[in-house]
Amino acid sequence: MAKLKPLTELRKEHFHFSRFPTTYCPGCGIGNVLQAVTRAIDETGRPPESFTFAVGIGCYGNIGNYLDFDELRLSHGRVPAMATGLKLARPDLNVIAMMGDGDATAIGGNHLIHAARRNIDITAIILNNHTYGMTGGQYSPATRLGDYATTAPYGMLEPAFDICKLAEGAGATFVARTTTFRMVQTIDIVRRAIEHPGFALVEIDSQCPVIYGRMNRWGDAVSMLKKQNALTVTLEKAKTMTPEELKGKIVVGIFKQAVEPEFTGEYYKVINRVRRPQDAS
C-alpha cells in the first residue's frame, strides 16, 4: 500500500469539507466508506474527473453533497441499471455504483444480478448496515436471522442474503467483503475493484449505531465496531472452520478474481462490426 495521503489534502481534493458535519448519525460507517473509496481512487492514479458516482436512495443517497465528484442521483434500486447505461454511453468513465444493502439486494436485486451476469466494468460498493437506516430501521434482506427491526419486533424470521455469494453466483468477476473497522484492507480491496476489468462487487460491513445498534442493544458505535471485529474471520481462517462455526461470522477477503470478456468491450466490437462505413462518425 502506498503511503497515506495527509487527510487535509484529501479533504481539499475530494470533499466539500465546508459542508461538514455530515447529516449522518454519530459513528455511522458511511463516512469511513467515503474515505476508503476516495483514498482508493487516489491510489489508482487515474484522474478524478474520470470517475462518476451512481448513488441510489437511502442514507447513502446523500453522499453527493459531500463528495467533489460527478454524480448520478438515482431512484431506489436502479443504480446498476443506470450505471450500465452510463458505462455503455461513455466507456471512458470509471463508474462507481454506491448502494446500500436494501437498495442493492431488495429493490434493486434484479438489476444487480443482471449487471453482474453481463460482467460490465462497474465497481459496485455495497455498504451493508443490515437495515434501512434512513426510514427508521425496517428489516432488509441483509438483516441477520433473529435480529430486531422496526418491522421485525419479535426477531427476524428470514435468513439473510449472503451478498458476496449472490454476486459470485450471478457471474461477477471480482467479489470481496471487508468491514469499516479494517480500513487499510478496505482501501486496498476497493482499489483492486476499481482496477479490475469487469463487474466488481465489494461488500463493506458497516455499523449503524443509532438505528440498528440501539434496536438490537449492540450499544454505540464503539461497541458495534468491537462486536463487528470480534465476528470477523479472514478467508484463510474460514477455510479451516466448519459451516456451524462460521454461522453469523463476517468472512472478509477476496472471494473471486477472474478475467472474463467484459460487456462494454464486446458491445463496441459488435457496433464496429455491423456499422456501415458511411455511418461512421
Partner 1 sequence: MPVSVVITVDARACKKCGICVEFCPKAVLESGPFGEVLVTRAEACNQCRLCELRCPDLAITVEGG
Kindly list the residues in this chain that would bind partner 1 in the complex (CB under 8 A): 4, 6-8, 10-11, 15, 17, 20-22, 24-32, 35, 180-181, 183-184, 209, 220-222, 225
Under DSSP, is residue 15 helix (H, G, I), strand (E, B) or coil? strand
Closer to partner 1 by Cβ: residue 222 or 246: 222
**Least separation, in Å, of the C-beta of 196 and partner 1?**
23
**Least separation, in Å, of the C-beta of 134 and partner 1?**
16
Task: Count other Cβ atoms within 10 Å, centred on residue 38.
Answer: 23
Closer to partner 1 by Cβ: residue 88 or 184: 184
Write the single-letter amino acid at 130.
H
Q: Which is nearest to 45 in space by CA: 194, 198, 186, 257?
A: 194
Closer to partner 1 by Cβ: residue 205 or 262: 205
**Least separation, in Å, of the C-beta of 61 and partner 1?**
17
Closer to partner 1 by Cβ: residue 184 or 241: 184
Contacts of 251 (CB under 8 A, 6+ apart): 177, 233, 234, 235, 238
CA end-to-end span of the chain:
43
Cα dist. 49→71, 80, 118, 196 in Å? 11, 20, 26, 19
**Least separation, in Å, of the C-beta of 22 and partner 1?**
6
**Least separation, in Å, of the C-beta of 173 and partner 1?**
28
Closer to partner 1 by Cβ: residue 180 or 264: 180
